[in-house]
Amino acid sequence: MDEVEGDPLAVSDQAGTIVRVDAGRTGLVWAVDASGRLRQVTLGPGGTGRSPDVPVHLYPLAYPTFGEEPLREPALRVTHADGVTSTRLRVTSVTSAPVDGHARCGDLVHRVALVDRAAPLGVDLVVRTWPCHDLLEQWVEVRNAGDGAVQLHAAAAFAPTFAGSDPHLTHWGGGWAAEWTETTERLSPGTKVVASAGGVRPSLHRAPVVHLAPDGRASETEGSVAAVAVAWGGDVRFDAEVALHGQQRLVVGHQHVGAERRLDPGGSFESPHVLWTWSDAGTGPASRSLQRFVREEVVRDGARPRAVVANTWEAVGFALHPDRLATQIDRAAEIGAELFLLDDGWFGVDHPRDDDTTGLGDWEVDRRKLPDGLGPLVDRTLAAGMRFGLWVEPEMVNPASRLYAEHPDWVIGEPGRDRRTERSQLVLDLCRPEVRRFVVDTVGRILTEHPGISYLKWDANRDLTEPGSSAVPADRQSHLAVDRVRATWAVMAEIAERHPDVELMLCASGGGRSDPGTLRWFHELWTSDDTDPVDRVRIQWGASHLLPANVLGAHVTRWGQRPLAFACAVAMSGRFGFDLDLDALSPDDLALCRRATDDYSAIRDLVQQGDHHRLVSPVGSDRCAVGYTDPRTGDGVVFLFRLAEGADGDEPEPPPVRVPWLDPHGDRAAIDRTPGGDHAALTVTGGRVAWPTGPAPCATVLHIPAVAPDR
């Protein structure tokens, strides 16, 4: 036992304490050794009843610190007031208590309080159980109880150890229009760092979720895997370590590089929260746990059906005209849309918004384009039986704007340095109270002046450069990386609270904000600006590893010049909508869109609320199959996509797709709801469905009710 002479906690009164954290399929056991250190005994399913079977001090540390294990990645790194850089934590108390007001499935909060062996630094490891979702939520709280300042360099939220012989890490990212591109790689000794960047649109570059399969690559239905997501609106970081002796560890939290914090006496820091779940039956159960959690505990009104949206961007761009918009409204109603969304270009007076270089910040209607304002468009939309939505980008400003001319100091920037623009815009400094008030009041004014607006698309199209704030002291500018996220969240929270009946879509150059932290104030997100349906099959497949279909905006467009029926089928597998020049559609195409909307209404609840099953992966393949089922009723729907022809044009036909919730020995009646199809009644035999035939790309949408359809 490597006790420290003179350490008051060398023999801890917590020694022998065992902490059992149980969330159904997911759990962990910690134990306190004789010197007060916290050790991880086990992790994963079925382990919470386990007791240490070797001396406790032989188990790995539950939360490694800098200087404690010099050959391992630290979760915590601090420079204490006396200049000491190492930290050694001892347990002082362990508590477990029900969650106030939220104990419907036995939710508990476990808190393990630790202190440094010598410095007045407190660190609490906090775990909340979500047994309804087989999921744990973890975070760390650090407190400076001393008289001098402490420099906090890194404080990860989650740092478990895994046992296994063949670790594989899966992560997603790829930049604008390539979000959720999947990478799976075998880990070798050392540390693999997966981190996002940019600060405002981090999910464009790296999604806030990874899968670690410690014992070999997991499939959808086989293998052990931990799915870990960070609920944070800024940059995130995953350190996947394989030590020299083969032990695996994930160190997870916000990106700490460039985000160091000074904790003054009495100061504290709460890390972003991490969500994780375990599966011994492949990635499917892990994904479904995260999806259900996001749908039921994160997004607003998660059980409410999402509307079929008709957006104007691909139809008119910035070239708004009342007559043309009126025609788009009429056509949207004709094809069954339920919400008409007016996108960019509606504002700007001194600097009209004729392109993306001017007008941001000046949120007044451009009367050159809309002489009578938004009112007639809102009224026409409501009279057509639809709701009205509007695009905003409230966190940004163009230098060519009245707002910037009046308040050039309201933007993120560093003194004495040039201000670089991206997309001809700058980021408003929401760390300043007056800027937060401006954004909240501006959104409130728009909604008050136009009470018929019940939906906002909230965009953000620029990353941080020259990351400085006049609201942050000069000696702690690195606080901006965290403080800006929290200030942005404060604005979002106030707007959501003030306007509870207004739905909010989260957008950031597409899917640049896809984290379950920011989604708390939103109803859905824009999955990607890439709406080529062939690409979208792969993007939506990747996003499903964290997000349920009811939050994934999926629109029918002309991107890629794919067949319209195929584009409709792909969009129907998410939150369905249109982004087309509806006035340019032929009568046949209008009829096809109307039929797709009707068919979507028949399967909407299954897609948006059902359990999601990934059946055939499009990663490295030209085919994809996904399904949704209601486990209470047995209703289901299967989407099958052929994305391209074989290389020689004469590919062998693969076997039919096995549908896991169907009886492999029975028959089920089904309805073909493929857009443009004949909607024939079919029979599914042996729980298998055939691939679509005909020139690729093509699709089949097969609705399989629990009760045979009455036709």
Instruction: Summarize the annotated binding site as residue ranges.
Output: 176, 343-344, 423, 457-461, 507, 529
Helix (H) or strand (E) holding 577: strand 575-578
- Rounded to 5 degrees, φ, ψ at 332 are -60, -45
DSSP class of 448 = H
Active site residue 459: yes
Tell me the two tokens of residue 616: 């055939």
Q: Which of 33, 107, 529, 599 is catalytic?
A: 529
DSSP class of 653 = P
Q: Which amino acid, one-letter code, is at 603?
A: I
| 3-state DSSP of 176-241 | CCCCCCEEEEECCCEEEEEECCCCCCHHHHCCCEEEEECECCCCCCCECEEEEEEECCCCEEEEEE
| Residue written as token pair 């939103």 | 522
- Rounded to 5 degrees, φ, ψ at 101 are 70, 10
Closest-CA residue to 138 (of 128, 148, 151)? 128
Going by their DSSP bridges, the two strands 667-672 and 698-704 should be labelled as antiparallel
List Cβ neighbours of 81 (8 Å cut-off, separation of 6 or more): 119, 146, 147, 148, 149, 150
Q: Which amino acid, one-letter code, is at 295?
A: R
Q: Which of 429, 459, 532, 599 is catalytic?
A: 459
- Rounded to 5 degrees, φ, ψ at 431 are -70, -15
Helix axes 375-383, 322-334, angle to 10 degrees: 20
Annotated binding site for substrate: 176, 343-344, 423, 457-461, 507, 529
Closest-CA residue to 199 (of 228, 253, 171, 236)? 236
Q: Please list the active-site residues.
A: 459, 529
